[in-house]
Each structure stands twice: as structure tokens, then as C-alpha cells.
């Protein structure tokens, strides 16, 4: 084989790698524009090191923690660029007509970006956030500090469940941490969150497959508004999209899809 032939053979690979870098640069530029320190964000993200940094969200004032080159960047994208957790008009109107700051339950609170957004948009909001992964919880507490440690923002380091107890849990330090079969993870505290839902104006659920336990509980449906990220793992049927909408509709909610992925993952808003 000649040298020129070898170069032709690897040329398609080089083109793919080049496009990946173009895509990475473009996505980093988009995300960097979400925060005030855009240049610093971009350099840290492209630098490749996983390091924690604090930023102020442009136009909102919320302070967030990002562990660069981790799934925190996707969370930043989902919350502040895709705006998947922006309430539909009917829910926004209900929250604004309460006459008081909303009571929010954040299940699967990760590093606190949703809580920071809620605090910025609804000063004085009461937030109860559940995050069992120790590394995520530490970053979440840092996010709370950056936002002045609001007195109404509470972090509970436990799994969200339908009954109190303990659950085997795989702590990954990112947004994929989840409950696992017995013997496959460390035992962590679990709390029955259904009574807390009843006392909340808005419930956000992103608990990596454990949502099906809550959706199937007969007590589910007390909260006036829910935003849910559902997952194929743990789904009792082969179609998570249809099952999530069926269970929410059966609980009396009007359902609006935010996005659906071929993998079976999706986000929906539900309200009554």
C-alpha cells in the first residue's frame, strides 16, 4: 500500500474528527453565551479538565455551579438554553396568581440549577430539593451559597421514594446517579415524598427511572403542576412516552410534551 493510499484511507476519519471539533466549538460558544463570563467558560470547557466553577446566568442573575467537562454542561443547556423547565402559560399564570412565593419540590435536584432558576424568578420561593448523590449534593450546597443561601431553600440528601427506608444507590457524581438492584450499590436513605407533593405548588421530577414508582402510587396527583423527565429504565411498558402520558392523564392532568427522544427519554409538563 502506498503512502498516498494510506492517507486517502484515513481522510474520512480526519473529516469526522474535524466536524466533531466544529460541533464542539459551536456548542461551547452557544453555552458560553448563557453566562456573564463567556470567555472564561469557553476556555475552561475546551481545556478538557473537569473543574468546578461558578457563573452568573446572563439576563437572570441566578448563580450556578458547573463542573466543566461533565454532564453539568448538559443541565445548563437544558435549563437555560433549551428552557425545558420554563412553565407553560397556564402553569405560569397559576404560579403568579398565588399571591405568595410558590412552594416547589425538586426531586433529583442535581447541582441546583433548577432551584437557582426558581429563586431568581420567584424571590422568596420555598424549595425542598432531594439529591442523594454526595458529590452532586456538595455542588448543590455550593450553588445555594452562591445565591445567598435563601432561607426557604432546603436540600435533603435522600432518594425520593414512595415509602421511607433505604435504597441501594449508585452514586456517579453526575446526572446518571440512580437506584440499582439490591447489592449493586451503597445503601442510602429514602423518603416518602408523596405527602410533600400534596403541599407543593410545583413538583419537578428527574430521578433516573425511580419516577415510575411515584407515578404508579395511588396518592400521586395531588400537586397542581408537575414537570417530569421520564426514562426507559424502570418503565413498566415498552413505550415510556405513552406510559408517562397515560399515568399523568389518569391522575387528572393535562399533559404537554416538551421533547421526546428515540431512547425513550422525554420531558413533559402536566397540570390541572
Mean pLDDT, residues 41-48 taken together: 93
Q: What is the C-alpha to C-alpha distance for residues 139 and 111, in angstroms, rounded to an integer?
A: 5
Q: By C-alpha distance, which of 154, 151, 131 is closest to 210?
A: 131
Q: In sequence order, which residues have a C-beta less than 8 Å from that of residue 101 and are 6 or more positions away? A: 122, 123, 124, 125, 126, 152
Average pLDDT along the chain:
91
pLDDT of 17 over the 60 cut = no
pLDDT of 86 over the 50 cut = yes
Give whichever of 9-18, 22-31, 128-137 has the largest mean pLDDT.
128-137
Q: What is the pLDDT of residues 164-215, one digit of tens each?
A: 999 888 778 777 776 767 777 788 999 999 999 999 999 999 998 899 999 9
Q: Where are the domains of the chain?
A: 70-271
Buried b (16+ CB within 10 A) or exposed e, 95-104: beeeeebbbb
Q: In sequence order, which residues have a C-beta less than 8 Å from that of residue 89 and are 6 or more positions away? A: none
Q: What is the pLDDT of residues 231-261, one digit of tens each?
A: 999 999 999 999 999 999 999 999 999 999 9
Confidence at 32, pLDDT banded by 50, 70, 90: very high
Q: How many CB atoms lie within 10 A of CB 124?
A: 11
Helices (H), 108-206: 113-121, 134-146, 194-198
Q: What is the pLDDT of residues 102-147, one digit of tens each?
A: 999 999 999 999 999 999 999 999 999 999 999 999 999 999 999 9
Q: What is the pLDDT of residues 70-82, one digit of tens each?
A: 999 999 999 999 9
Question: What's domain 70-271's superfamily in CATH?
Answer: Vaccinia Virus protein VP39 (3.40.50.150)
pLDDT of residue 26: 85
pLDDT of residue 211: 96
Amino acid at each position: 500500500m502506498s503512502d498516498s493510499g494510506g492517507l486517502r484511507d484515513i481522510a474520512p476519519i480526519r473529516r469526522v474528527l474535524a466536524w466533531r471539533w466544529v460541533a464542539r466549538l459551536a456548542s461551547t460558544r452557544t453555552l458560553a453565551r448563557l453566562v456573564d463570563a463567556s470567555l472564561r467558560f469557553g476556555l475552561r470547557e475546551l481545556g478538557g479538565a473537569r473543574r468546578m466553577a461558578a457563573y452568573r446566568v446572563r439576563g437572570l442573575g441566578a448563580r450556578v455551579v458547573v463542573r466543566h467537562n461533565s454532564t453539568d454542561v448538559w443541565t445548563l443547556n437544558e435549563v437555560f438554553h433549551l428552557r425545558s423547565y420554563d412553565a407553560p402559560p397556564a402553569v405560569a399564570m397559576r404560579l403568579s396568581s398565588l399571591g405568595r412565593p410558590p412552594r416547589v419540590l425538586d426531586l433529583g435536584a442535581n447541582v441546583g440549577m433548577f432551584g437557582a432558576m426558581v429563586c431568581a424568578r420567584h424571590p422568596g420561593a420555598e424549595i425542598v430539593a432531594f439529591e442523594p448523590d454526595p458529590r452532586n449534593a456538595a455542588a448543590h450546597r455550593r450553588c445555594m451559597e452562591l445565591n445567598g443561601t435563601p432561607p426557604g431553600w432546603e436540600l435533603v440528601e435522600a432518594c425520593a421514594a414512595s415509602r421511607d427506608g433505604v435504597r441501594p444507590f449508585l452514586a456517579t457524581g453526575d446526572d446518571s446517579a440512580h437506584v440499582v438492584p439490591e447489592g449493586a450499590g451503597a445503601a442510602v436513605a429514602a423518603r416518602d415524598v408523596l405527602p410533600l407533593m400534596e403541599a407543593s405548588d410545583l413538583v419537578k421530577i428527574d430521578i433516573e427511572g425511580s419516577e415510575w414508582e411515584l407515578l404508579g402510587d395511588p396518592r400521586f396527583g395531588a400537586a397542581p403542576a408537575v414537570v417530569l423527565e421520564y426514562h426507559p429504565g424502570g418503565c413498566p411498558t415498552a413505550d415510556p412516552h405513552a406510559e408517562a402520558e397515560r399515568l399523568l392523564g389518569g391522575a387528572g392532568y393535562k399533559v404537554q410534551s416538551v421533547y421526546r427522544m428515540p431512547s425513550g427519554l422525554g420531558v413533559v409538563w402536566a397540570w390541572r
